[in-house]
A and B are shown apart, each in its own frame.
Chain A
Amino acid sequence: MRAIKPGLRLKSAVCTTEIMVIRAPAGEVRLDCGGCEMLSVTESAPAGAKLEPAHAGGSLIGKRYVDAEERYELLCTKGGEGALSLDGTALQIKQAKALPSSD
């Protein structure tokens, strides 16, 4: 469990996935990637951490991941083999909103 706030960057313990928090209400949550709790950029993976086959759906660079209510939003800044989940529930890719290029 950890408090997350916009701008916080985390990395997967079991694959190359990295994320940045875009939106999060106050309070602590458990953010997992590949079935293991994500780490701050300076932490190292605990011994024996490995990608769980049930959470190997992968993450894609540049995609935004949200919970069902879209209270939380993460930006995947590096893709990997692990899938993202929040408090045990898989996060989904948010549909891109199409804005015309303004610059």
Chain B
Amino acid sequence: MNLSMLLDMAADAFGERPAVSCGARTLTYGELRLKAHAVAAQLKGGGFAHAALLDTNGLAAPATLFGSAYAGVPYVPLNYRLTDAELNALLSRIAPAWLVTRPEQLARLALPGGITPGDGDQLPAGGADTPVPQAPEDPRAVAIQLFTSGTTGAPKAAVLRHENVMSYILGTVEFGSAGAEERALVSVPPYHIAGISAVLSSTYSGRHIVLLPSFDAEEWLRIAADQRITHAFLVPTMLVRIIESLEAAKAAASLPALRAIAYGGGKMPASVIARALQLLPSVDFTNAYGLTETSATICLLTPEDHRNAIASAEPAVRRRLGSVGRPLPTVELEVRGESGRVLGAGEPGLVFVRGGQVAGEYRGSGSLLDAQGWFATQDRGWLDADGYLYLEGRADDVIVRGGENISPGEVEETLLAHAAVADAVVVAIPSEQWGEAVGAAVVLRPGAQVTAEVLQQWVRERLRSSRVPERVLFRGELPYNEMGKVLRRVVRAEFA
């Protein structure tokens, strides 16, 4: 089993169809396979242990992803936003490696030993004389290694094996199911699991991928209109910016081809998705919840779930806009208490998952799955009576106030419901009396004015008194990473 099989099948069945475009350049599935064969030949000739990519979205990303699979070498896309020192440290960990990148990236790096650079824009096209690689079939071989953005210490290297990635794609995508007119706009970076799974899913379904090198809302809207984009994946901050652009233009969105937007990679406020549904009524919205360690999506809130929620007067159905949906048919999910007991509907605890796509493994620390194959996501959440999962945040972010567990998400939602509040994040702050207490950093809407006392009273009226922020900081903006995740450790430091 090898993920290059996805490209082989696509190239055999519809080799003349466009596979991937970036700017003015396009490769058909047949051409992408030839290019991947050429990459594999280079990798095999060089005796490399890894194939790294340090680049924005471009044709080099899918070519290196599939080329490394053909060669049986793990693919390691790197975050180009890291500092030079951070990148050099990661490169030292994967030597000997071939580094597919660009001259301007090389100029800033002092490459450690064992790293051989290659220009991503100059990858060979491959042709009739390119040797056809015999892809190794070991399902346990490592397909992809992704460095996670560790909050403390050195980044961990999450390992995805061919069997994990293939389990996800074969379990969720029907081969060749995309119509010839379907085009997916990919604006998540290639080092993110969503950027990788977008390429793999689109290849297997036969959907033409259009790559956006770096996200900008205006550019996204322009390309979506010009290229008649039908499908897209967005992280919450990207969707927020697109909505703001649409609202600022005060014109009906001229995106007649757009059918489906999937979103994930961070918490999406229910108010944002409600606005999106209003602005783009003909678009199907899907919430995809997943982790790097689970080879992408494990839960889906379907377009039908979205429409039912927005149309319902019943609070239990309506609140599902804030849920991440139900597990995939190929994934089992449980919520467990501190003691390990499986909890019932409405009881918050830790989210565990099991299934073929769940890798749950880091380089050097081995498998983190328990004896029965379950993986602790480190996310807290609860299931409703119909099996919809509601996330409350990372287990590490829970505030323990005098023995009582407080999840920041609940307090944040309440603050966000205040008319003056544009954004809010809640973190644990040190408290002599309680050990930890609630701290809130708040961004007000333009022109809005409100005091800390008013917000504290607002929370007190809606939640238990233990949830009331002991301190409220007002900020011009909150710190986010490029994938739209709020950096809680930075906020915590501001309270110290």
Contacts and interface: CB of A to CB of B under 8 A. Distances in A.
B170 interface: yes
Contact of B286 (A9, A61, A98, A102): A102
Interface in B252-295: 260, 262, 264, 284, 286, 288
A23 to B, nearest CB: 10
A103 B233 contact: yes
B70 to A, nearest CB: 15
Contacts of A54: none
Contact of B9 (A6, A7, A61, A100): A61
B177 A75 contact: no
Given A7-B163, A75-B170, A77-B8, A99 B1 contact: no
A62 B176 contact: yes
| Chain B interface SS verdict (over half) | mixed
Interface residues of B, number: 37
B137 interface: yes
A100 B262 contact: yes
A79 B13 CA distance: 9
B5 A100 contact: no
Contact of A103 (B137, B176, B197, B303): B197
Contact of A20 (B1, B286, B296): B1
Contact of A101 (B9, B262, B328): B262
Interface string B237-264: 0000000000000000000000010101
B296 A7 contact: no
A26 interface: no
How big is chain A's contact interface, by range?
Answer: 20 to 34
Contacts of B286: 100-102
A96 interface: yes
B302 interface: yes
Interface string B194-210: 10011001000100000
Given A77-B5, A99-B328, A22 B137 contact: no
Nearest to A102: B288
B172 A99 contact: yes
Nearest to A75: B170
Contacts of A55: none
Interface string A13-49: 0000000101000000000000000000000000000
Interface in B166-193: 170, 172-177, 184
A45 B5 CA distance: 23
A20 B328 contact: no
A71 interface: no
A7 B297 contact: no
Given A62-B176, A96-B174, A97-B329, A102 B297 contact: yes
Interface in A56-103: 61-63, 75, 77-79, 96-103
Contacts of A100: 260, 262, 284, 286, 300, 302-303
Contacts of B184: 101
B410 interface: no
Q: Which of A78, A97, A99 gathers the greatest number of chain B CB atoms within 10 Å?
A: A99
Nearest to A16: B12
Contacts of B231: 101
Interface in B80-122: none
Contacts of A75: 170
A22 B288 contact: no
- Pairs of residues from A and B, 3 with the lowest C-beta to C-beta distance, nearest first: A62-B175, A102-B288, A7-B1
Given A7-B139, A78-B12, 11 more contacts: A6-B139, A7-B137, A62-B175, A63-B175, A98-B174, A99-B328, A99-B329, A100-B260, A100-B303, A102-B288, A102-B296
Interface of B: 1, 5, 8-9, 12-13, 137, 139, 163, 170, 172-177, 184, 194, 197-198, 201, 205, 231, 233, 260, 262, 264, 284, 286, 288, 296-297, 300, 302-303, 328-329
13 contacts: A6-B1, A9-B1, A20-B1, A61-B12, A99-B300, A100-B260, A101-B205, A101-B262, A102-B201, A102-B233, A102-B288, A103-B198, A103-B296
